[in-house]
Structure 1
């Protein structure tokens, strides 16, 4: 008899540990493409075994061990790499592989062997960071960098990445495949780059961390509004980056944004898991420790003396919300100014849509609707529920009920997250 919860256990472990597993395998093998393939094979084996036999006591170690075994099998098939295979098989490579782990004959029990896999937390962090910089190498296009890193570091599926970018799933899969082939052809080594190379790749790394957090804080699909594993991983990676690059304003700006946004997580959902809108949130439940960390990171970003970048400006907007005792007492005029600055620094229809919401609060729905109507042809928003949701809300406030209903119905059709869809359906019902 199989255990249906076994697949859920696999998914949960993979979401949390996939980056560490791929990073560790990349360090063991020196071959990123092989490491990712072996990790996927380990995942496939877990999906077969765990529902039938139950999850092992060390799930991440089990996956790493099976992945390492698959790498050894691959090197065995490559006769020209026999010497390297022997080194791996006898545990001579660095990374905590105990000697004598694999020899001729039947492969060892992965559960028992997992006990010998040493997970060095500091080294694991290095592996994940090295994996991020590898995925963001300049030989790759920006789209390929982001897609590949979301896959191997964030553990997102191709479907989830496609929704994040509003492109077909086949496009994302092609980008990932091409990216791995390009890295292999260019013989890009695995490891954290030198200081002069880090700056060149930093923008892509920050973008990926932000996108991982965005998927975690407002899941594009599924039953849960917040995916705490993804959001937490993005925060952890941002903290690692802030230690590695202490003089980079945008690193601290991104960290501040993630901390201040995550501070509202405890109040964003009710007991039943349904979303709680900002105006209805119990601000006493906001995480004050996270707010303090976010403000400290924002202060560090400001102290660099070069002015706030795009992430720093978003963090400043988030700080306005955390400083206000209520929606009505929020400094919406300052938020509008910050969004205007952000729009000049990093133009985006999403920024303009958020600015429209702030303008609605500061100046009224009519002024905001003018901005929203100007976004009707934006390709970035064409497949998203965000534009019809905001437009429907503005039309409702202006008393244009029939038009508001049509927009909200469209938003419901486009929304991929069950929890958010429930909120939209409730808005529709409230229109009467």
Structure 2
């Protein structure tokens, strides 16, 4: 274990170092154990909350106290609401698709040691750009399958370019002006939301509501396997998986990916080996923004069908997904699937059992927190050089290159 760690008690260092050195099998077992513990804690919370709720037929009366919420029934409804029917599976996969893209966008920058929380702003800007292109070009292109494909491709391209440009901005500020990326990305999130609202209200508004024009039906990717009402298309899900695999391959096998990982794991070694740190920062932010903008485009074409200023916090959810996946683009896929199951299942609680939406949100948060915390602590351990395997691959490669 490295002696360069933070000023922590020896026991804390040993625990963090053990997490850093955990094998893939051990990390999987830790994740399942964390999930089981989260379910137990969630059940206790449901019981306690049910004791203060009012219901006609409590499932348990103990010591004169009526308990309204049955934890087993709650979890059953959540699971059924997520995967109990083709429609439910479609909703879950729809959430999973967005979260994979957002998670990969965040993971790319986190791999470089950059704490980027601006994916939400890139999501907003990308969605707005895609919707705007649809509104201004739909009447120019033919209203048939060919026109629909062109409109879809151009819309996603506009979303990706807008997100990339918006993502590059905090990269330039960090690389050349040493502006803290946490502050700049937070501010840019707010700016994106304000600009989107003003743009839609003043220039793109269609009808009484503050929203853009609807995406023509011929430009919406077909559902094929799942019910159309689920707003999910396999034709978008498959390329989304390819993006995750492509990001993983890029990080592991390309010069840019090596420079990104080296900059994140060993900044001093990266500088010593001649890596252009400023260029890596800007390119990493740009790539992340590109994927974040594509997420907004997918939201417009597959989910909403138009753009409005009030949108879900997909970019912020992507941070949780990335942390849960240890910033591994391939790990983002199962992490996003778990998150999608939890989100879809939580919706069913309010509709079927009358469990308050706020309580469903707390339950979802507990599950995510417990599952993500071990990986979050592992990231901290690696950041401070704890554990025998911390940053070893990067150091070994630098040493080998210098020896040559």
Asked if TM exceeds 0.5, the reply is no
Normalised to the residue count of structure 1, the TM-score between the two structures is 0.27
Normalised to the residue count of structure 2, the TM-score between the two structures is 0.29
